[in-house]
C-alpha cells in the first residue's frame, strides 16, 4: 500500500506537509500520516499483535479487542526519511517485533519498552528504484524485492553478510562543529588526513534506511553522533536504531551508541533517542576506539 502511494506521489495529492507536527516536534508530511494509518490498519486486526508503537503517535496504540490480543508487539517508523519525499529520494519503513511481557489482555507500554536483544524479528522496506524488503528473525538476513506484476515479495538474496571493512562512511558533515573531538578525528581519518589506512568514500543520502541499506550490501559505517545541540542523540532507539542494529548483527556487522551496543540499551521511554554508529564490524570498532581514545571515558 505504501509503496504504491510513494510511486504515485506526484500524481495524487499526497505530497507536501499537513501543517502540523508529530510527537517528535517534526513537521508531518502527508505521506507520514497516510503511511502511519496504513500500518495501523494492516496490523490492528490480525490477532497477532497486542499493542503497537509508532514514531507518529505519542502513546502506545491499542489493537482491536474483537480480533483478540496476540503474543507480539510491533514498533515502527512508518516513513523514514519523509523530508525527502518531495525530491524523489529513497525513503522507507522500519519495524521491530518483540514477544509481549505481560501474559494476556491488551498490551501495555511495558510490553514495548524492551531492549533490542529481545527482538524476535526486525527489518525495513526501501522504496527506491524497486521496493525492497530486508528482514531477520534471528536466523540471518534475507532480501526480497516486490514484484508488482503479482503483488508479492520474491527472495533475491539469502542470508547476506556485510563486509567486515567497508568502502563508505555516511554522516552529515554539516554538524562537524557540534561533534566531540573524537568524531572529528574519525572523519579526518576517513578522509585520509595523516594516514590512508582508514580512508573511505563519503556517501550520505539523508535517509536512514537508504544509507544503511547501501552500507549493508557494500560495506561501510553510518554515524549519527550526539552533538552539542542533541546531547542524547537524534535517532529513536526502539523503532529506528534497535531494529537496524538487529539486522546489522545478523549480517555480521555491529551497532552501538559509540560506547554501548545498541541491542544492550534498556529503554526508558517510547520515543527515547540515541546516538547511532552502525555498519561493518571493523569500521564500527575503529570509530569506538578512536572516540574512546580522544574523548576519554564518559562522565
Residue 299 scores a pLDDT above 50: no
Query: Of 123, 157, 191, at which residue does a domain stop?
Result: 157
Q: What are phi and psi of 235, to 5 degrees?
A: -80, 155
Q: Where does the pLDDT of residue 246 fall: very low under 50, low under 70, confident under 90, or very high at 90 and above?
A: very high
Q: What is the pLDDT of residues 189-213, one digit of tens each?
A: 999 886 668 899 999 999 999 999 9
Grid look-up 489493537 returns 63
Residue 82 scores a pLDDT above 80: no
In a domain, 92, yes or no: yes
pLDDT of amino acid 71: 96
In a domain, 194, yes or no: yes
Q: Please give the radius of gyration of the chain, using alpha carbons only, rounded to the nearest integer.
A: 19
In a domain, 162, yes or no: no
Q: Tell me which residue range forms the domain holding 269.
A: 168-295
In a domain, 106, yes or no: yes
In a domain, 163, yes or no: no
One domain, residues 108 and 193: no
**Of the listed ranges 9-18, 40-49, 158-167, 253-262, the one predicted with least confidence:** 9-18
Q: What is the CATH number of the domain that holds 218?
A: 3.40.190.80
Q: What are phi and psi of 268, to 5 degrees?
A: -110, -15
Q: What is the pLDDT of residues 223-236, one digit of tens each?
A: 999 999 999 999 99
Question: Exposed, middle or buried, 87 (CB in 10 Å: 0-12/13-18/19+)?
Answer: exposed
Q: What total number of domains does the chain contain?
A: 2
One domain, residues 28 and 113: yes
One domain, residues 173 and 101: no
Residue 277 scores a pLDDT above 60: yes
Q: What is the mean pLDDT of residues 146-153?
A: 93
Q: Collapse the DSSP code of 136 into the 3-class scheme (helix H, G, I; strand E, B; otherwise coil) and give the result.
A: strand
Q: What is the pLDDT of residues 30-65, one digit of tens each?
A: 788 889 999 999 999 999 999 999 999 999 999 989
Tell me the C-alpha distance between 32 and 86, whole Å.
Answer: 12
Length of the chain: 299
In a domain, 66, yes or no: yes
pLDDT of amino acid 212: 97
Tell me the C-alpha distance between 90 and 256, whole Å.
Answer: 25
Is residue 237 within 8 Å of residue 256, measured between CB atoms? no
One domain, residues 33 and 178: no
Number of alpha carbons in the 13 Å side-chain half-sphere of residue 39: 27
Grid look-up 544492550 returns 264
Q: What is the CATH number of the domain that holds 20?
A: 3.30.540.10
User: What is this structure's pTM?
Assistant: 0.92
Query: Of 137, 157, 177, at which residue does a domain stop?
Result: 157
Average pLDDT of the chain to the nearest whole number: 91
Amino acid at each position: 500500500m505504501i509503496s504504491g502511494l510513494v510511486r504515485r506521489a506526484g500524481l495524487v495529492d499526497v505530497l507536501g506537509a499537513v501543517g502540523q507536527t508529530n510527537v517528535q516536534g517534526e513537521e508531518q508530511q502527508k505521506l507520514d500520516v497516510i503511511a502511519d494509518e496504513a500500518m495501523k490498519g494492516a496490523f490492528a486486526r490480525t490477532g497477532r499483535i497486542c499493542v503497537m508503537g509508532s514514531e507518529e503517535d505519542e502513546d502506545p496504540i491499542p489493537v482491536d479487542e474483537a480480533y483478540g490480543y496476540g503474543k507480539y508487539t510491533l514498533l515502527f517508523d512508518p516513513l523514514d526519511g519523509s523530508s525527502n519525499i518531495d525530491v524523489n529520494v529513497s525513503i522507507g519503513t522500519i519495524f521491530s517485533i518483540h514477544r509481549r511481557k505481560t501474559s494476556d489482555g491488551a498490551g501495555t507500554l511495558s510490553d514495548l519498552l524492551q531492549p533490542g536483544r529481545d527482538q524476535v524479528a526486525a527489518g525495513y522496506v526501501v522504496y527506491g528504484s524497486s521496493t525492497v524488503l530486508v528482514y531477520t528473525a534471528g536466523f540471518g538476513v534475507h532480501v526480497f524485492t516486490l514484484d508488482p506484476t503479482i503483488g508479492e515479495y520474491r527472495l533475491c538474496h539469502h542470508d547476506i553478510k556485510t563486509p567486515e571493512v567497508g568502502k563508505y562512511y555516511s554522516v552529515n558533515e554539516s554538524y562537524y562543529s557540534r561533534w566531540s573531538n573524537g568524531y572529528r578525528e574519525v572523519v579526518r581519518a576517513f578522509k585520509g588526513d595523516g594516514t590512508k589506512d582508514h580512508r573511505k568514500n563519503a556517501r550520505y543520502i539523508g535517509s536512514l534506511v537508504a544509507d544503511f541499506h547501501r552500507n549493508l550490501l557494500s560495506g561501510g559505517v553510518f554515524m549519527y553522533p550526539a552533538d552539542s545541540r542533541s546531547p542524547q542523540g537524534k535517532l529513536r532507539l526502539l523503532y529506528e536504531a534497535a531494529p537496524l542494529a538487529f539486522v546489522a548483527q545478523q549480517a555480521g556487522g555491529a551497532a552501538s551508541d559509540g560506547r554501548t551496543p545498541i541491542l544492550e540499551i534498556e529503554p526508558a521511554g517510547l520515543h527515547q533517542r540515541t546516538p547511532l554508529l552502525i555498519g561493518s564490524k571493523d569500521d564500527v570498532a575503529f570509530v569506538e576506539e578512536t572516540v574512546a581514545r580522544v574523548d576519554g571515558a564518559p562522565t
